[in-house]
Amino acid sequence: MSLAEKFHYSDFTRDNYRLLLRKAKENYVFRSYTDYRADERFVLWRHDVDLSVHAAYKLAVIEAEEGISSTYFLLPHCEFYNMLEAEVVGKVHDILALGHRIGLHFDNDFYRIKDVATLEGKLRFEADLLSSVFEAPVEVFSFHNPDAWMLQQRDATYAGLINTYAEYFQTSVGYCSDSNGYWRHRRLPEVLERAEDPCLQILTHPAWWVESPASPRDRVLKCVQGRAEQTMRKYDQGLELYGRSNVGEK
C-alpha cells in the first residue's frame, strides 16, 4: 500500500470537502457553539487555523456557497501567519462577511500555564485582542496542541469563553479531526456516511485541503512557499513604490 493510499491523500481536496459538507447536511443540522440543542442531530464544524488564513478563506467560500456557517479559530502566536498583518486582517473580515464566526485558538505552551487562574487571565486577554482587531465577538476557544493538563480542563467555560474540550464535548459528542493532515482516529467520509453519532464535533485545519492530492508535508510546504513569495513581492513593490534601488534584483 502506498503512502497516498494509507493516509488517504485523495480525501483532502477542496472538491471533496464540498462533498463532505453535503453529506453532513443529509443527517445533521449545522449549529454554532452558542445555539446547538442537545435534543437534535447537530454538527459543530470548526477550523483551527494553524497555517494559513488564505486557505481558511477558500474553505469559507465553499461553505457559504453550500449555505453553511462554521467557526474559525485564530492563533495569535502562529509562526506561519501574522494575525495583525493588514492582508490577514482583511481575509478574516472576508470570512466574517460570509457569515462565519471566529474563535480563539489558544497556545497554552506559549505561557506554560498550569493553573486555572492564570489560564483564565490569558484567555480573556487574547479573546479581547481578537475581538478588538477583527471587530467581532469571540465567544469560544480551542486549545492548540492540547496536552494532558489541557484536556483535564473540562469546565464548560473559562473566562466566559465556551471550551471546545469541555466534559460534554469530550463524552457526549462524536469527534473527528484531520490533525497533522490525515485521519488520526476516524476517517471523516466514513463517519458521515454511517451517521451513527447522534451529534458531532468536526475539526478541520484549512491548509490540509488543497486543489489536488498531496502529502501533508507538501501541503505545509505549499503554504510556506506561498507566503515567502508573497513577502518578496511586497518587498520588491515597496522599493518600486518609493523609487529606491532594488540592489541584487534579478
Distance CA 23, CA 28 (A): 9
The partner residues of 165 in beta bridges, in order of sequence, read: none
DSSP letters for 74-103:
E-TT-SSS-TTSHHHHHHHHHHHHTT-EEE
How does pLDDT run across 78-93, given as a tens digit for each residue?
999 999 999 999 999 9
**Residue 209 above 90 pLDDT?**
yes
Residue 92 Cα to chain centre, angstroms: 12
168-196 average pLDDT score: 96
Average pLDDT of the chain?
96
CATH class of 11-213: alpha beta
The predicted structure's pLDDT at residue 9:
97
Q: Cα 86 from chain centroid?
A: 19
User: What is the per-residue pLDDT for 187?
Assistant: 97
**Quick one: pLDDT at residue 1?**
87
Q: Once rounded to an integer, what is the mean pLDDT over residues 159-180?
A: 97
Q: Which of 178, 173, 224 is nearest to 201 (CA)?
A: 173
For residue 218, what pLDDT is reported? 96
For the segment 100-139, what is each residue's pLDDT rounded down to a tens digit? 999 999 999 999 999 999 999 999 999 999 999 999 999 9
What is the pLDDT, as a whole number, of residue 21?
Answer: 98
pLDDT for 120 = 98
pLDDT at 184 over 90: no
- For residue 69, what pLDDT band results from cuts at 50, 70 and 90? very high
Give the pLDDT confidence score for residue 221 in this predicted structure.
Answer: 96
Q: Is the pLDDT of residue 249 over 90?
A: no
The average pLDDT across 62-89 equals: 97
Check: pTM over 0.85? Answer yes or no: yes
Percent of the chain with pLDDT over 90: 98
Q: Is the pLDDT of residue 198 over 80?
A: yes
